[in-house]
Structure 1
Amino acid sequence: MTAATRLPQAAARATVGTGHAACHHGEILQGVFLDERRRSVHALVTLPMNGPGSTARFARRPGSPPDEVTVVPDGRTKARAAAVLAVRECAALRDTDPCGGELTLTGDLPVGLGMGSSTSDVIATVRAVADSWGLRLPPETIARIAVRAEGASDPLMHGSGPLLFAQREGRVLEVLGSALPPAVVVGCLLAGGAPVDTLSLPDLPTPHHDDDLAAYAHLRRMLCRAVADADTALLGRVSTASARLRQRVLRHKEFPTLTGIADRTGAVGVQVAHSGNVAGILFDPRTPGLRDRLRRCTRALSREGCAPTRTFTT
């Protein structure tokens, strides 16, 4: 869908709208890649996760100034910025005057762990504002608004399919396929679960070297092959290699512990949020004795101080 969809007339007359957005579990791959014009672009591939997310409710106040948007709870400045932008977008599409309103956000997402909490808030907000105007905005429009509101965005507005997404430009560089290879992920927290100011992190040491471009181009090709062949082992190799490269920025002291536990329990690799403290150990669901391996992995993470969080599947 590349154009806004007008909902039924009854929805168009409503002044209250709702929206929801899921989260993710960090990245499978993140680095610098060449786009279709041979420019080096920062981009990522997220690991989608069902369950936690953000829900937004937006109540329009007709006749109020368009910048007069209140937010509950306080402090959700990115969501508020997205609401103001979405109001202007939707009013223009409806050819009417924009107005402010009240935004209410609910959800169970931890903040600052690299799970896309702010993007989830922003997407849910944009969807709620659009719903209050009787519209459904296309993912490309939501991405544009999200980048303007946040400075960078995860590709949650595009659903759960694997995409190479330029997070600071809000555009898809490549659709890698319909789904990631099947994997079971044992999630955990690094650094005691301390939050991270994700926008304060550099993408990579600069300037970018040809070696970086070559390394990430190779991982991009490997991931495409893993998706095409549903190759979980290759997915694990890509994710581990990407996390190891990202160690130049994050320097997680627990990284050798994660890879050691993965090796001892027969996992295919590790996965680390490239801008946060959430991480996971990846298993092939077809591995013999999987339940025992998952239990051993969880116990080992607990012993090493990497608090296990949840086990889920791709």
Structure 2
Amino acid sequence: MGNKVVKVSFPASCGELVQGKINNERFLCSYAINCYTHVTIKKVEEGSNILLPEKAQKLVNFTKKFIRDSEKKWEKIDIQIDNSIPYEKGMGSSTADLVSLSIALSEYFDLNWNPTFIAKVLTQIEATDSLVFPSLTLMNPDTGESILNFTQDKYYSVACIIPSESINTSTIISSYSERDWNIKAYSDLLNQTTKAFDCHSLDQLIKVAELSALLNEKILTKPFLEGLIKLKSIQGIKGLNVSHTGTVIGIIYDESVINKIMVTNLIQSIDLVSYYQIKHYKMVLPYH
């Protein structure tokens, strides 16, 4: 394998556009932003250096099952994960780690891979996110199944507003089975989401995201949400989405119409106590 070095980067999300559950099956759709996990795999001379977070180590162990003579091939491998994504906020930090690591391992060991394969692999570790697919995708995060998709043709800016509190996403997800889900409301959410996908419309998905955010208030409340929703009346503000299992809110805006300073000021006019930290990102392709 020589001195082969593989480097893979994968982006965060700023929550989800939609997320819900009907008849014990979850659905969600997220979008990618330019905040990344970076994974580097290379051969070293002084023995293996694989000190990884628990979920990443599980993925490594799972991958070993696909590789013959695994002990010899893994003897002198170094894996580094450099993650700049805010942790336990609902920005897909864990998914970004696992997707980038899975791709890097596949390329290092010359395994065939595609997004569908990666999605199935990741669900062996935990529920995954739709960013695993290259286009805007409605998916079942528990099975890795793609339901609907279309190629994103607009890339807006996002003011990601992040409180200091962290939430263990796994804890929220594990409690889902105990919740009383409003089947009619979530059926309507899924129906409107499907219509947006049928129209190949990101703008329509952003409108549906408001409904999803409001439904999620009964599960995980977001301070100042109602006031932040009203910002959509300002020219250039496209809408809002939330993390359904985390703490962040995304204000989606068109930077050709309104600049980031103006957006920051608008958010701070709602959040007078500076409850949120504000970071500005741009929508990007998950794979580039």
Query: Normalising TM by the smaller chain, what interval?
Result: 0.7 to 0.9
Residue 171 of structure 1 is matched in structure 2 by 145
SS across alignment from 2:91: coil
| Residue 261 (structure 2) pairs with residue 291 (structure 1) | no
Residue 70 of structure 1 is matched in structure 2 by 50
C-alpha distance in 1 between matches for 2:170 and 2:144: 15
Q: Residues 155 and 264 from structure 1, CA distance in 2 versus in 1: closer, same or farther, beyond 3 angstroms?
A: closer
C-alpha distance in 1 between matches for 2:10 and 2:103: 9
C-alpha distance in 2 between matches for 1:143 and 1:296: 38
C-alpha distance in 2 between matches for 1:207 and 1:113: 21
C-alpha distance in 2 between matches for 1:233 and 1:268: 7
Residue 85 of structure 1 is matched in structure 2 by 62
SS across alignment from 2:86: coil
Residue 112 of structure 2 is matched in structure 1 by 136
Residue 240 of structure 1 is matched in structure 2 by 210
Q: Residues 230 and 43 from structure 1, CA distance in 2 versus in 1: closer, same or farther, beyond 3 angstroms?
A: closer
C-alpha distance in 2 between matches for 1:136 and 1:28: 31
Residue 159 of structure 2 is matched in structure 1 by 187
Residue identity in the other structure for 1:79: A
Q: Kindly state the Cα deviation for residue 277 of structure 1 after the two structures are TM-superposed.
A: 2.0
Number of residues paired by the alignment?
Answer: 275
**Residues 164-201 of structure 1: CA distance to partner in whole angstroms, max 9, x if unpaired?**
111122222x123222x6363432324x2322211111
Q: Residues 52 and 297 from structure 1, CA distance in 2 versus in 1: closer, same or farther, beyond 3 angstroms?
A: closer
Residue identity in the other structure for 2:263: C
- The answer (yes or no) to whether the contact 1:183–1:232 under 8 Å persists in 2 is no
Residue identity in the other structure for 1:143: A
Q: 2:10 aligns with which of 1, 21, 24?
A: 21
Unaligned runs of 5+ in 2: none
Residue identity in the other structure for 1:154: D
C-alpha distance in 2 between matches for 1:132 and 1:40: 37
C-alpha distance in 1 between matches for 2:177 and 2:225: 19
Unaligned runs of 5+ in 1: 1-11, 34-38
- The answer (yes or no) to whether the contact 1:176–1:224 under 8 Å persists in 2 is no
SS across alignment from 1:248: coil
Residue identity in the other structure for 1:42: R
RMSD (Å) for aligned C-alpha atoms: 3.0
Q: 2:32 aligns with which of 40, 48, 51?
A: 48
- The answer (yes or no) to whether the contact 2:155–2:283 under 8 Å persists in 1 is yes
C-alpha distance in 1 between matches for 2:44 and 2:59: 17
C-alpha distance in 1 between matches for 2:139 and 2:10: 17
Residue 278 of structure 1 is matched in structure 2 by 248
| Residue 19 (structure 2) pairs with residue 30 (structure 1) | yes
Farther off after superposition, 217-226 or 13-22: 13-22
Q: Residues 275 and 256 from structure 1, CA distance in 2 versus in 1: closer, same or farther, beyond 3 angstroms?
A: same
Residue 7 of structure 1 is matched in structure 2 by none
SS across alignment from 1:148: coil
C-alpha distance in 1 between matches for 2:190 and 2:93: 26
- The answer (yes or no) to whether the contact 2:8–2:40 under 8 Å persists in 1 is yes
C-alpha distance in 2 between matches for 1:118 and 1:70: 17
C-alpha distance in 2 between matches for 1:97 and 1:231: 46
Q: Kindly state the Cα deviation for residue 234 of structure 1 after the two structures are TM-superposed.
A: 2.9
Q: Kindly state the Cα deviation for residue 250 of structure 1 after the two structures are TM-superposed.
A: 0.8
SS across alignment from 1:250: coil
Q: Residues 218 and 15 from structure 1, CA distance in 2 versus in 1: closer, same or farther, beyond 3 angstroms?
A: same
Residue identity in the other structure for 1:254: F
C-alpha distance in 2 between matches for 1:43 and 1:142: 18
Residue 152 of structure 1 is matched in structure 2 by 127
- The answer (yes or no) to whether the contact 1:177–1:227 under 8 Å persists in 2 is yes
- Tell me the percent identity: 18
